Structures are given as C-alpha cells and as structure tokens.
Amino acid sequence: MTTLLETRGLKKHFGGAHVINGIDFRIDAGEIRCVIGPNGAGKSTFFKLITGEHRPSEGSVMFLGQDMSHVLPHERIRMGMSIKFQIPGVFPDLSVRQHLQLSLHRAKDDRPESLDELLQRFMLENEEHVLARNLSHGKKQWLEIAMAVSLRPKLLFLDEPVAGMSVEETHATGELIKRLSAAGLTMMVVEHDMTFVKQIASRVTVLHGGSLLADGPLDEILARDDVAEVYLGKKK
C-alpha cells in the first residue's frame, strides 16, 4: 500500500495548553479513515495541523513522502490535498455553476461535461443557477464536497461533512462518499455522528486528550472498553 499521509510525533501547544501530544498516524491509498473522539479530543487541531492552518510545535506532517512543515496551504492543495471545512465555506454571491466553474478551472479542466457530471453526482442539477447564499445547509455541504472533489485530489479531507444535515441527507452523503471511495479516492473524515461513521468507515482512529487512543478496523475499535469509556463516557 502506498502511504499518502503520515504524521510523526506531532505536537501542538498554545501557550501552556498542550492540545496535541505526539501523534503518529498514517493513511494509505484507497482508505476511508474516520477520525473520531469526544469534544476536546483535539480532532479539529489535528485536522488544522495536517491542512496547514496551524504549524506543528514539534513533529512533522509528511504527504507523499514530503515534509509539509513549510508548505503553504494553497501549495498543499496543488500537491493533491483537498479540504472541506466543517462550516460550509461557499461564496454567497456566486451561483452553484460559478463555484464549479472556478474549482474546475483550478483543476485545469474547463470541459462543460465535467461541470454537468459534477452537478449530477452531487445532486445539484436543479440549483445550477442558484446563488450559494440561497442554498439549504445540506446542499451547501454537497457543493463544497463537489468543489473539493473536482480538484481531483489524491487525498480528500472532510471535516464533519454531515454536520447540520437531516437523516436523509446524512444517508445520501454517506452513499456519495462510498461511491467516491469505490472510484479510488482516499479520504480522511473527522466526524461525530457514529451512525454515519459506521456507514462509511472501514478503519477508524480515536483521539482522546490530544493523543491517539486507538487505531484499527471499525468493529475491533468499537468493541474496545477504553474507547467506549472515553467516547460514551461509561464502561461497557
């Protein structure tokens, strides 16, 4: 298996607060990896260290074997990372079509059929000319995932992709992610919703108190007592 992403002894502290305490982590090509953990586990900080929004205090993030310490966020995207933030980061005054035009242009793919295909795959055909400000929350999430996917990344990061979605939208998003995975896309998903995690993940990583508590196949991890204790707040 080709290793796409690896962190070695990753640490982050803000003043005296140690938020990430030395995480060794790896994602291989073809995986859907879910990173889970209770509130305050350090998931968001870990995500931001990987995407370049935060600089590590110690340790390193390696992508495709290259140290990312001094690689700017936009350069990471050009190298093959793609990111969907937790809060939908769309451009309110642009239409759905213009969003996809822009992201396809960044991917150097200006073919109209690519745009039509994206609209169809992400269930946005009827919103093509709608301004992003007028989209429902779920559609904004899909639009953002569509933009991230259109960049043809080697590794797609999704930070809570179903936050604020209805049950139906959550399920549809899960199916969408499975289809993307079947097409060969590697993904790292930070998520709270365990129903969704069970729907999509083959392997999970559990963070707790800024450290890696467990890492492995979904069923094995969920069967562990220590995971149940930190995640559900009780012993099994």
Partner 1 sequence: MKQTKEPSRLSPASATTRAAHYVPWLVALTLPLVVDATTSGNLAYCLLWAFGAVGLAAMWGYGGILSFGQTAFFGLAGYSYGIFTLNYGDAWFDSWLGLGAGLVVSIVAAALIGYMIFYGRIKGVFIGIVTLSVTLVLETFMSQTAGPQWAIGEARLNGYNGMGGMPPLTVPWPGGPLTLENASFYYLVLILLIVVYAAMRKLLDGTFGLTLIAIRENPQRAEMLGVDIRRHQLLVFVLGCALGGLSGALYTIWGSYITPSTMGLTSAAMPVIWVATSGRKSIGGTILGTALLVWLSQNLAVYGSQYALILLGAILLIVVLAAPEGLLPFVARHLRRMQGRAGQDAPRGGACLKREEGKS
Tokens 């467990």 belong to which residue?
Answer: 214
Tokens 């939908």 belong to which residue?
Answer: 88
Q: Does 130 bind partner 1 (CB under 8 A)?
A: yes
Specify the residue, 136 or 211, whose C-beta has the smaller distance to partner 1.
136
**Under rule CB under 8 A, which residues in 158-187 are in contact with partner 1?**
none
Question: Candidates 30-38, 71-79, 162-170, 183-191 — which segment interacts with partner 1 by CB under 8 A?
Answer: 71-79
Specify the residue, 45 or 227, whose C-beta has the smaller distance to partner 1.
45
* Residue 84 and residue 150 in contact, taking contact as beta carbons nearer than 8 Å: no
Specify the residue, 30 or 85, whose C-beta has the smaller distance to partner 1.
85
Specify the residue, 114 or 199, whose C-beta has the smaller distance to partner 1.
114
The DSSP annotation for 1-39 comes to --EEEEEEEEEEEETTEEEEEEEEEEEETT-EEEEE--T
Q: Does 131 bind partner 1 (CB under 8 A)?
A: yes
**Under rule CB under 8 A, which residues in 84-123 are in contact with partner 1?**
85, 89-95, 97-98, 101-103, 105-106, 112-113, 115-116, 119
**Under rule CB under 8 A, which residues in 192-221 are in contact with partner 1?**
none
- Smallest gap from Cβ 6 to partner 1, in A, equals 21
Phi, psi dihedrals of residue 42, rounded to the nearest 5°: 105, 15
Q: Which of 22, 28, 26 is nearest to 10 (CA)?
A: 22
Amino acid 111 reads R
Specify the residue, 129 or 234, whose C-beta has the smaller distance to partner 1.
129
The C-alpha atoms of residue 198 and residue 219 are separated, in whole angstroms, by 9
